[in-house]
Amino acid sequence: MEIKNLGTYDIAVIGAGHAGCEAALAAARMGKKTLVLSINLEAVANMFCNPAIGGTGKGHLVREIDALGGEMGLCIDKTFIQSRMLNVSKGPAVHSLRAQADKRRYHEEMKRTLEKQENLLLKQGEVIDIDMDEKGVKGIILKTGAYYSCKAVIIATGTFLGGRIYIGDAAFDSGPNGLSPSTELAEALKKRGLETRRFKTGTPARALSSSLDYSKMEIQEGDEHPVPFSFMNEDVDREQVPCWLTYTNEETHRIIRANFSRSALFGGLIEGVGPRYCPSIESKLDRFPDKERHQLFVEPEGLSTEEMYLQGMSSSLPEDVQEEFYRTIPGLEHIQIVRSAYAIEYDCIDPLKLKLNLMHRDFPGLFCAGQFNGSSGYEEAAAQGLMAGINAALWLDGKEPFILDRSEAYIGVLLDDLITKGTNEPYRMMTSRAEYRLILRQDNADMRLTEKGRALGLVSDERYAKFLSDKKATEEEIARLSSLKIRPSDANRVITKMGGSPVENGASLAELLKRPELNYENTREIDPERPELSYHVRTKVEVSIKYRGYIDKQLAQIEKFKKLENRALPEDLDYMSMEGLRNEAKEKLTALRPVSVGQASRISGVSPADINVLLVWLEKLKRNS
């Protein structure tokens, strides 16, 4: 096949899923001539699994992407059909926004955004090889013979790379949703020495809405006043559609168990490791044999389709078994399945092979993002894509990489977990993974990250002006509430109404807001001159006041954490010659090359004693320099 050079770009992005879209937009907005390629343009920002953005832990990532100047939050605000704030009965650190999307509109909005972006070309084409050597990346080769020169490549192939679908004993090469897999690229990468491994994920069946009986299910409404994901938006009120909840039962479980041997997962066909936190229904019954029922959410896939997504019921069982067990579930007795559930295996890399800027350790100019790095989820992919796009642009300019640490963002936790600790299964973000989650709340993501996005050139003048306005309004309102004295009689009027014990002395309204029964809204009647503030500002004000003591304690913890993070480790440090280090630590430190003592302390196999040895060596180096 004759190879013809059709153009020269700074950065080429392989894949236009959630990682590829954010990567391409970030690179282009930072002034790099960017090409993003998708096997099929219908796959751009497609939601091949659940039609939703956000959720516990994941909503934090979306807010951080937005604060840095990314696109996911803006896109879901335009296209959601139901919105709910999760975990509202718990503390603000774990409040997480989740929105059902009209998946077709989400795809269309994101695709249009890419098409309109300056410096960016979105093109349909299958990349079959990356032209690179030990010195770096030279270009990419398409199946048609087209060649595009570039200086950096971002691999964001999702579940397409070496994709293989399983439904019972039927197995065939395929990308998600029946789209073509990326088979030749998978083989080419292996030939070039890039080691990969197999992970797997799955998706449940889609059902025709008219075949379901919603009277037998529990309705799940959205919030009365939906909250926006993007800090650029204040009011996203619109008519919402409901979701529904139903449950499996003993008969459902009997049918599934009787067919375990016909499941691709248990039948030995699937080799890849599946996600722990989003298992198939077969895995749930295998792991939790005593559980009497499992919940099933029935979620609309959009306003222009009758397809309903059966959340919580992914499976690799044969189609006849799927038909049988779904029909034992209340409301699904007459189900018509329009897309069968399936499992999909795909190639990904061990993220321990990556530097913190998401560039591969062995291939200069090769950046990696999303499920290719061993993660799962749209939000985790988008966050990595954004960071890969940013760092590819910075690397081309010879600038220092943009790294967020664990105390600065959930994005920092995500990347540090993947790159420092690695993962043996598809990684999913959860609030429990963040040690400093009271600081890393979704409400203050703009205060934490917008200045950083601005310095990178990703935050527009309009967005920055909005940020400065919100910051000023927040500070002024906290100061006003701290100086506003409330008489005991006025305070008790609200306190007793809310079921609290009365106060004897006057106090500032800020002090009163620390009481559990009081909040910013129910104290309005004793604060007649209260200014009208946006949702984003009101939330920041209340959380900052109510949790000030806890926040200060966590800030003190972060100060200690930063001391180790700021102890840089020279890249050429000879760990093998260090007396006192255990052999396992020597091998791990040599392979992963941590940039700081803090990162070294989180590497599996490196003990506190090894860290003390490192600190002694650093002191010796300091004295001898």
DSSP result, 251-285: HHHHHHHHTGGGSTTTTT---SBPPSSS--HHHHH
Please determine, for residue 618, whether its predicted confidence score (pLDDT) is greater than 90: no
Task: Please give the pLDDT value at position 256.
Answer: 96
Distance CA 225, CA 216 (A): 27
Q: What is the separation of C-alpha 362 from the centre of its chain, rounded to a whole number of angstroms?
A: 26
Q: Mapping DSSP to helix (H, G, I), strand (E, B) and coil, where does residue 298 land?
A: strand
Q: What is the separation of C-alpha 180 from the centre of its chain, rounded to a whole number of angstroms?
A: 25
Mean pLDDT of 452-475: 97
Distance CA 503, CA 390 (A): 53
Distance CA 271, CA 198 (A): 7
Q: Mapping DSSP to helix (H, G, I), strand (E, B) and coil, where does residue 373 land?
A: helix
Q: Which residues contact 215 (CB under 8 A, 6 or more apart)?
A: 331
Mean pLDDT of 233-261: 95
Q: DSSP string covering 466-480, please?
A: HHHHHHHHHHHHHHH
Q: What's the whole-number average pLDDT of the chain?
A: 95
State phi, psi for 304 to the nearest 5 degrees. Answer: -105, 15
Task: Please give the pLDDT value at position 274.
Answer: 78
Task: Please give the pLDDT value at position 272.
Answer: 79
Task: Please give the pLDDT value at position 1.
Answer: 66
Residue 223's pLDDT band (cuts 50, 70, 90): very high
Q: What number of other Cβ atoms are within 10 A of residue 154's Cβ?
A: 33
Residue 16's pLDDT band (cuts 50, 70, 90): very high
Per-residue pLDDT reduced to its tens digit, 347-399: 999 999 999 999 999 999 999 999 999 999 999 999 999 999 999 999 999 99
C-alpha radius of gyration, the chain, whole number = 26
Task: Please give the pLDDT value at position 270.
Answer: 84
Q: Mapping DSSP to helix (H, G, I), strand (E, B) and coil, where does residue 486 land?
A: strand
Please, what's the b/e burial string for 220-244 (b: 16 or more CB within 10 A of its CB; e: otherwise)? Answer: eebeeebbbbbbbbeebeeebebbb
Distance CA 346, CA 350 (A): 13
Distance CA 403, CA 386 (A): 12
**Domains present along the chain, CATH in parentheses:** 4-199+349-456 (3.50.50.60), 206-345 (2.40.30.260), 481-556 (1.10.10.1800), 567-624 (1.10.150.570)
In the structure encoding, which two tokens stand for residue 308, read together? Answer: 């309903």
66 neighbors 49 (Cβ within 8 angstroms): no
Distance CA 335, CA 337 (A): 6
